[in-house]
Each structure stands twice: as C-alpha cells, then as structure tokens.
Structure 1
Amino acid sequence: MRGKQKKIAVLNDLAGFGRCSLTVQLPVISALKVQCCPVPTAILSNHTGYEDYFFDDYTRHISEYTGKWKRLGLSFDGILTGFLGSAAQFEAVEQFLLDFGGNSLLIVDPVMGDNGKCYATYNEEMCSRMRSLTARADLITPNLTECCILTDTPYELAGMPGQVEKMAEKLLDRGTGHVTVTGVVRGGEICNYVAGRNTEPVWIREKQLGAVRCGTGDIFSAVLSAELVAGKPLADSVKRAAQFVRRCLEVSEELEIPLQDGLAFEEVLDEL
C-alpha cells in the first residue's frame, strides 16, 4: 500500500496543444486531490482537429511502460480509458485490466463518434471490441452517437421520446454497471442521463452555452472519475462534472478562445 491517497490510471493520448485527453485530465484529476497516473497511447503535437499535426503511436511501448508498474506492485482505485485508435490498443487495455483491474473502478469513455457518425478511424472490429469493453465497465459515458453505435440503434431514432432511456437499459442488460449518456441537447439545455442497475434513473441538466469545443468530454470524465473514486454518489458526481464544464465554457466564451483550442479550464481550476 502506498499511502491513503486515491489513484486513477488514465489510458489516453497526449496532445501538446488543443486542451484535450491527458493534457486536461491530468491537471483536473490532480486538482481534485486524486493522483493521476497517465498511460499515453499516442503522442501528438496538437489534436487532429487542426490542419496539420505530429503523431507518434505509442502502442508498441505500452506493455514495457506498464510492466514497470507491475514490478513496482502498483494498484489503482480507478482506471479510466479514453480514445483507443487501433485493435492493438484494445489488446493493451485488456492486458492492463488483467494486470491491474483487481478491485479498481473501471470507467470507460467510449470515444467512437459524434453527430451521428462513427469516426473514420473506427471499423466494425473496433466497435465490437468497444461493446465488449463497455459491458465489463462499472461506468460508461457515451454521447448520443456512441450510445447508438453500442446498441445498434439508428441515429435517426435517438431523438424519439424514451429512446435514450431504452438504449441505456440495453447497455445495462449487457453487463455495464452504470451508464451516463452525455451531452443530449434538449430545449436550450445540455442533459446527461444517469442510470444504473437497482438505482433510480435521473436527468441532470445545465444551460447550453456556445458551440461544441474539443476536450469537453475529457474534462467531464476526469471530474466524474475523481469524484467517484473519492466515494461520491454517481448523480452528484455527474452534476459536479456538468457544472464545471459549464464554467469552463463560460470563461472560454468570455476570453474568445478559438473552438479548436478547447476549454480554458485553467481559469477556473481553483473552483473544483
């Protein structure tokens, strides 16, 4: 045992500019007094939303990297996974869970698509692997598009009354412990649907502010994960994550931050 402080291992890429993935998750989790232990899956100069970028796939190094952790006898209170860009990275995550899963809380952000479309890098094999990974997770945080992909639901049906609830129930039936469907836009509000086995489902709403920004989901999952490993209730953790994202959006609009440059979370980090 290495002290009483909580620890989260975060498997995600690292982009030097653009405020997303590990670049935002590490400081946010740390600000919540939880030790963040990053496992970089790729190194980028900036995220792929920019016209040009440097990219180095780190998959070939992950087993050696985490093997040193295994020799140190490390364990984690939580494991958070983000974007996985290849079948080999899914294999690396599966091995990591074998080595370190134990009693860790597994939180999967199934980054696969948005606006009704799967990302170009995702093929059917990877979608199938993500379905398997989410089925073993304690919590998953899909957006509406990802929820449709995971449940084989046509995106055109996603906005129908009761459809979000049906998709969440389907995911729970497959084995997922809890589901938070994120970023559902309804009547000028951003809504998050929270459901779990043997718990009362709830909608958590925040006022919609500005356009979509890079890194929003990464900040949301970082706050949520840190709160959960600290023992906070799921609904309260989702509410805090949503409120912090709203504050980040507010200050980013005030500072006229370009959408590609993400959220100016640094300005309000002390509010966590």
Structure 2
Amino acid sequence: MSDEILYDRDPRYIPRVAAVHDMCGYGKCSLTAAIPILSAAGCDVCPVPTALFSAHTRYEVFTFHDTTEILDGYLDAWRQENVDLDGVYSGFLGSADQVAIIKRLYAEYPHALRLVDPVMGDGGEIYATYTPELCRAMGTLVDGADALMPNLTEASILTGRDYPGQDIDDAQVDEILGALLAAGAKNVVLKGIDRGDGMIRNYVASASTGVAGKQELAHAKLPFMTHGTGDAFASALCGAVMAGRPLAEAANIAGEFVRHAMESTQYQPNHEERGVSFELNLDELTALTRR
C-alpha cells in the first residue's frame, strides 16, 4: 500500500491552478466553491468559466450561457502573457467541445497536474444540461488523469455500466476502480459509498499499486443532504494535493472538511438547495500551508 504524492510544494511558492468550471450566480458550487477553497489552501486560482448560470440546475428556474466560443481567445491571451500553470482542475462543462479546451491546456502545460472531477450527475441521474455526446467526451479525460474523482453515478457512466446505487460491496468497488485504472487513470478517488451504517466511504486507488492497494476512508454521515458537497470535496482535495499532501491524506482532509462544513450548513436558510456553507471552515485548509 502506498500514498501517492502528486505535487512537491516549495512552501515559499504559490502554485497556479486553472479551474475549468462553470460559474453560478446563486448556489454554492463549481467556481464559487473552487476559488475560495483552493485559495484558502494557498493556490493562485485561474478560472476558466465553461458556462454562466443564474443558479445551479437543481433550481426549477435558471439561465444558462455556454461560453465555448470565447475560450480559445481567452487562452490565447494567457499564452501571450506567458501565464504558467501547475495544475489543471476540471469539473462541469457546458458542451462537448470544451473537452478540447481542457486538452489544449494539457498540451500547452504538459508539466501541470491533471485533476479531473468528471461532473455529470449524482444519485443515478444525469444533470439537465448534459447530453450523451458530452458524457462520452468527458470520458476521454480519464486517460492520463493524475487524480480522477468520480461519484458512483459518474463512475458508472465512465465505465459503461448501470448505476448500482450507493450501497456497493468491496467486490463492486474493486471492479469499478479497476475499470477506471485500466482506462488510463493514474489515481482514482471513488466517492460516496453509503452502506447504511452511518458512514460515507471514499476509496483511493493508484495504478502503481493496483486495486489490491486501495485505501478506504470513512466519514460520519450527517442526517441530511445538501447541494454542492461534491464540488467542495474535489476542490478541497485538489487544494490539499497542491499543498503537498499525499493523495489519500488529501482525500481524508477533504472528507472531514466537507463534514465540518455541513455541520455549519444546517443552520443556514434554504441550505438543501442553496448548498454547503464552507466559509466558516476554510481555516482547515489555510492550515495546510503552515507545516
């Protein structure tokens, strides 16, 4: 068993991370989570907005604007200014064509970590703006991902299997992790296994040790759900990785950060839709830069 260190951080240096996500005006997710969470972990966050929403898609009414047509010019300007990157963290995409934007970043910044949250759905349901073409395109980001972070819905889409529900046994976990590693992911964090025993489990596996070396991380489950926990988890995990923490440790840090943030969230109005309130817990991530 090993715990992969993906980024060796100089404590005097602030790494730059491109956050390729959508922006929601209302609802705590995507860039409104990634920017403060990664910043708290000591990263310089460089947003690449894939879409603009008035609110996230769990709301009955929302506006949606696909930004694909502006992104090549956006990145051209970065190149002209010699912007450098240490990581590319991708999440929700507005169209299948935006996968080419992520791959452009991979080509132009070959030394940057590839941190992939394949945001496509949850609870067995695909998000409203996602098409089969976009899901297939998202799947091409698996090969070469330094850290792939799917939930069970997304892992099912990526591996071409029926959604099994949240309660899966170790053999099913191994099967899914093995399929994602076989598809080219260097490391996988499989999120959100719920066996009804009061715990939420995440599993970390590396191509270097295989499924046999997987690590289980269990966190106490709170008696309510809220939107945006996946984005908060992935952003905190990426922040901990960029702070130099080994991957399984980073996943554990992220799980505890989300649990503590949810404890704060329950006192906020309309939290089920509004999303996870992490602001009072950002000091947990700021502490990562103070060894």
The match for 1:28 is 37
Does 1:71 find its partner at 2:84? no
The match for 1:192 is 202
Alignment of 1:1-272 (within 5 A): 4-100=13-109, 102-156=110-164, 159-161=167-169, 162-186=171-195, 187-199=197-209, 200-272=213-285
How far apart are the structure 2 equivalents of 1:159 and 1:54?
Answer: 34
Q: In 1, are the aligned partners of 2:22 and 2:53 still within 8 Å (CA)?
A: yes
Q: In 1, are the aligned partners of 2:51 and 2:67 still within 8 Å (CA)?
A: yes
Report the TM-score when normalising by structure 2. 0.87
Query: Structure 1 stretch 224-233 or stretch 155-164: which is displaced more?
Result: 155-164
Larger relative contact order (C-alpha < 8 A, sep ≥ 6)?
2
Q: Give CA-to-partner distance per residue, 1:49-76, whole Å, 9 cap, x none.
A: 2222232221111111111111122221
Q: Residue 48 of structure 2 aligns to which amino acid in structure 1?
A: V
How far apart are the structure 1 equivalents of 2:53 and 2:146?
Answer: 29
Q: Higher helix fraction: Structure 1 or Structure 2?
A: 1
Q: 1:109 to 1:190 in 2, by over 3 A?
A: same
Cα deviation for residue 125 of structure 1 reads 2.5
Report the TM-score when normalising by structure 1. 0.93
Q: Residue 215 of structure 1 aligns to which amino acid in structure 2?
A: G
Say which SS state the counterpart of residue 249 (structure 1) adopts.
Answer: helix
**Structure 2 alignment gaps of length 5 or more:** 1-11, 286-291
Identity value in percent? 38
Q: Give CA-to-partner distance per residue, 1:56-110, whole Å, 9 cap, x none.
A: 221111111111111122221111000113112122222222223x111101101
Cα deviation for residue 121 of structure 1 reads 3.1
